[in-house]
Structure 1
Amino acid sequence: MAVHRETRAIGLPVDRLFDVVADVESYPDFVPLIRAARVLRRGETAYETEQTLAVGLLQHRFRTLTELSRPQAISIVSQDRSFCRFDIRWNFAPLADDRCRVDFALDCELRSLFLMPVLQMLILPMAGGMVSAFERRAHLLAAQAVARPVLPPARSLPEDDLRQE
């Protein structure tokens, strides 16, 4: 069984970090070992996802159910038959100066005893870097939003200006 717990203060507003964690389809861009993520069904406060973990040529596809309690919590569970238990909890609390406290918990147990060493070797180190990966992604997206120039809306030219003389 793999268990990881982490609590950190992060220099980002709660809603910004919540949005990054909730955007599962972007995980392959920045979360280690996640090769693919696709939302299969989406509701107002929950969605079902198919994700693929990959290490070298080994791949494992599984489904998760994510429940969103904006902006306080995100719960990710899997009833996939390859797991005895798969439970990820994110809790967010605002702090002063536009910062937030993040509580992250991962509980994962594979059914296959053969694959348990793989879980211990790969998933636990990945879980240890998970909060940092999301923090870096949120800072990157915030920096890109600030750097992106806001262009005035295009205006149409009068027909006279379009004629060539």
Structure 2
Amino acid sequence: MPSHTETRVLPYTPEQLYDLVAAVDRYPEFLPWCKASRILSQSDIRMVADLIIGYKIFHEKFRSDVTLQRPHEITVNYVSGPMAKLKNHWRFDAAPGGACALTFHVDFDFKSPFLQAAIDAFFDKALRKMVEAFEMRAATLYGRKGIDGG
């Protein structure tokens, strides 16, 4: 089962990065391969959402149950779609200078060996690109030096 962990210290507050990741309805605006998103239900501590992910000939819908613990954690548990398993976890910890130590971890398996083989070929690169897309979105929303507004 592929898994990946990415840790970065970014010049934004934990609250800023939490809000960015929790805004699932905005993912199609900046996230590679995210063609559409729909929030089915939402409260302060939980959300159920669908994402449609597309790349070349692949288009798949994923439903996830998202646990929200502002501003420290977001945990995403797979509900339905083409996966056998999908879980990802975002952690937002305060770092020196008002920055945020961001940790992202994902584990997943596809039901289809064909899809699994296709993903395995570029898994690490795709996840790095996804994390970079969140970083670029933070810079767009909060500026290059988000913690001091400039």
- TM-score norm. by structure 2 comes to 0.89
**Structure 1 residue 110 corresponds to structure 2 residue 110:** yes
1:32-79 CA-to-partner distances (Å, cap 9, x unmatched) read: 111111101112211100110101242101201111111110001112
Distance 2:29 2:123 in 1: 18
For 2:54 and 2:42, locate their aligned partners in 1 and report how far apart those are by CA, in whole Å. Answer: 25
User: Relative to structure 1, is the Cα distance of residues 57 and 81 closer, same or farther in structure 2, using a 3 angstrom cutoff?
Assistant: closer
More divergent stretch after superposition (98-107 vs 134-143):
134-143
Q: Which residue matches 1:42? A: 42
CA distance in 1, matches of 2:50, 2:12: 28
TM-score, normalised with respect to structure 1? 0.82
User: For residues 13-162 of structure 1, what are the structure 2 equivalents within 5 Å?
Assistant: 13-80=13-80, 82-143=82-143
Structure 1 unmatched runs, 5+? 148-165
Residues 61 and 82 of structure 2 are in contact (CA less than 8 Å); yes or no, is this contact kept in structure 1? no
Quote the Cα distance in structure 2 between the aligned partners of 1:35 and 1:123: 19
| 1:4 corresponds to | 4
Instruction: Tell me by how many angstroms 1:138 deviates.
Output: 1.1
What SS does the corresponding residue of 1:115 show, helix, strand or coil?
helix
For structure 2, the 5+ residue unaligned runs are none
Supply the RMSD in Å over aligned alpha carbons. Answer: 2.0
For the Cα contact (< 8 Å) 2:61–2:81, is it kept in 1? Answer: no
In structure 1, give the amino acid aligned to 2:102: V
User: Which residue is 1:156 aligned to?
Assistant: none
From the CA coordinates, give the structure whose radius of gyration is larger.
Answer: 1
SS at match of 1:12: coil
Distance in structure 1 (CA, Å) of the matches to 2:92 and 2:57: 35
Inter-partner Cα distance in structure 1 for 2:106 and 2:92: 15
Query: 1-side partners of 2:39 and 2:54: how far apart?
Result: 18
CA distance in structure 2 between the partners assigned to 1:128 and 1:4 by the alignment:
9
The number of residues matched between the two structures is 147
Structure 1 residue 122: Cα displacement: 4.5
